[in-house]
Amino acid sequence: MKKTSEITFDGLRPPCPWMDDSHSLWRDSVRNFVDREIMPYVEEWESAGRIPRDLYPKAAKAGLLGMNYPEALGGVDDDTDAFHAIITSEELSRVGAGGIAAALMIHGIGLPPVMKLGSKMMQEEIVPQVISGERQISLGITEPSGGSDVAKLKTKAVRDGNGWRINGSKTFITGGMTSRWMTTAVRTGADGMAGISLMLVDLESEGVSRTELPKMGWWSSDTATIHFDDVFVPADALIGQENQGFYGIMANFNSERLGMAAQATAYARACIEDAATWAQERQTFGKRLADHQVIRHKMASMARKSVRERFAETLLMLKENFSVEHEGRIRLDIALTREELGAMVGAAAENITRLMTEYKDLGYLSQEGKSIYLLDTDAIESEANIGF
């Protein structure tokens, strides 16, 4: 990728000492895919509230869905690492429509518990179908009664012969209307974290119903409430050990938060690039917006804040390489980084929207595309807390 000091998506990205030529090649590959298969259709998909089904196998063929999954299951695990996945998040965020990445990559939070804790039989059945783009899998943690307080979830599974009966509901489920499976947190024991299990639920099972949720942003991503009315799941649907699901959920959150941190910084860079382009085009009071000192100060402030992604990259390196005694500290830093970068992208989106609104009312016009920054970044700021 050509180096530049301009106020552009690439120019605002600080160099990363842990990325090599393989990462540059991967960035070029993902960018070519995004420019060819996604960019021309963003407005169409945002209006439709869905991405097309054929985008999944296309993304699979390009290597996006199988990244860091075993080759034996159809994945792409040859000389790839977590930084390749971060690059994927960044390039998809460059689109400027968060719902597209959320829908396309939803397996990134639904599938890891199956890989880490699921039986070999479960992995062999589910993983190839998902990373080939044939089917989707979502994650079901959040409930109508609460989001981030996982230990108090109420959806209950009770034993019934050679299986379980599930009753309850999950909400804010990304991909909830279109996914075939959902990695689902249920209560199988006493109150608190020690009574939670993870189960793989076929969303086409009898007793499952779905209600689509309208949203302010992330329009291309279907979001739903999933209702369970005496839904039977077989005994082998258990992911990991009974009553040990809480720990699987927490482990999943770390990678999810790092991915959202990368998404937030990339989204901020996209906002700033568009703001800079607009400020150089728009004329006010006899000169370009970019020539007004107050605007230049705003741009400098946004650009300065956007380089915080280096901290997220450092945490990723620590997470991948440090020993277990550092794990607690790293988990805390990951959570704090996601919160900080979420706030940063929200500020960047607000600045670009205000800039366009104050000088040409464009911030109010969804046809211009940029007003969705403000709406979509609200989801980035809150998604880890409410369980998207």
Buried/exposed code over 95-124 (b: 16+ C-beta within 10 A; e: otherwise): bbbbbbbbbbbbbbbbbbbbbebbeeebbe
3-class secondary-structure state, position 21: helix
Rounded Cα–Cα distance for residues 110 and 67 (Å): 14
Secondary element (H or E) of residue 296: helix 293-306
Question: Would you say 30 and 105 are in contact if contact means Cβ atoms under 8 Å apart?
Answer: no
Q: Which two tokens stand for residue 359?
A: 């000088």
Rounded Cα–Cα distance for residues 271 and 277 (Å): 10
Q: Which amino acid makes up residue 236?
A: D
Catalytic residues: 256
Rounded Cα–Cα distance for residues 146 and 130 (Å): 29
Q: For the purposes of burial, counting CB atoms within 10 Å of the CB of 79, is it exposed (0-12), middle (13-18) or buried (19 or more)?
A: exposed
Q: State the SS3 of 23-35.
A: HHHHHHHHHHHHH
Question: Would you say 98 and 174 are in contact if contact means Cβ atoms under 8 Å apart?
Answer: no
Q: Which two tokens stand for residue 81?
A: 């690492």
